[in-house]
Amino acid sequence: MSSALTPLPRLLVEPIVRAALLEDLGRAGDITSDAVIPAEARFEAVIASRQPGVVAGIDAAVIAFDLVDPAVKVVVERGDGSVVAPGDVVLRLHGPARAILTAERVALNIACRMSGVATATAGLVAIARQHGKAQIVCTRKTTPGLRALEKHAVKAGGGSNHRFGLDDAVLIKDNHIAVAGGVAPAIRAAKAHAGHLVKIEVEVDTLAQLEAAMAEGVDAVLLDNMTPAMLAEAVALVGGRALTEASGRVSAETVGPIAASGVDLISVGWITHSAPILDLGLDAASV
């Protein structure tokens, strides 16, 4: 978890939140709140955690209330990266009741989702740190349109970010190798094409492929679906000449032995594509 987590720029987050609100409001807006709640009604509420975990997506939730009505006053009690227990208040809200209830679901959808990502990441980070130096990193297996928020949530949970997109770096994977005719031809073609600031990583699943990659020289190697024993051999073979990244079948049960192999990075897809949400709820303030 990071207490000094740099927030995402509002310029980046607001369009995501705005699109979610437009999806929810549809053509006629919140017809329930408009019908049931008097226009002048005020409401004091809190968003609190119902489970232990790490919160994220809180800045986005704040933006949701602000976009519906800037008159809603929001106090952040626990921001992105904060560890929470059941009952801990994350946000305090005060203002027009209609606006708070209209923004509620979008704010919670985003905050619950991102807090789930952060919590899942934090769990793996804690185990990995007990067994080695490896950093937990995310992948491009993200929800379309939510990549920036999900990758930020990974950082909130103490993890690190891999590529944000296809234009970040060269990552030569198994299908690239198959079409290019082998590890060496693929690496040579990448070096001929890439600019001098572009890093090159290659995926390998055998030690023979790893030897071929190291003979050509790359910045990082992605060691795919290797056993912990094989990973340790791969780390020894690389000998510090490139970053070593393990991937495949990473879970709370396997991450410790993987980290103990000595790899630098462990990439995990499920922390962004299928982490369970952290249950947060909005209720009337009791104090």
224 is catalytic: yes
CB-based contacts of 34, cutoff 8 Å, min separation 6: 98
245 is catalytic: no
Q: How far apart are CA 143 and CA 105, in angstroms?
A: 18
Annotated catalytic residue, options 80, 203, 245, 264: 203
Annotated catalytic residue, options 59, 224, 245, 264: 224
- Integer CA distances (angstroms), 274 to 91, 103, 254, in order: 25, 25, 17
Annotated catalytic residue, options 10, 18, 92, 105: 105
Annotated catalytic residue, options 10, 92, 141, 199: 141
Annotated catalytic residue, options 92, 173, 199, 249: 173
Closest CA to 40 of 104, 100, 97: 97
CB-based contacts of 107, cutoff 8 Å, min separation 6: 47, 60, 61, 62, 64, 65, 282
141 is catalytic: yes
- Integer CA distances (angstroms), 2 to 54, 62, 80, 109, in order: 10, 19, 8, 22
Q: How far apart are CA 118 and CA 22, in angstroms?
A: 26
Residues belonging to the active site: 105, 141, 173, 203, 224
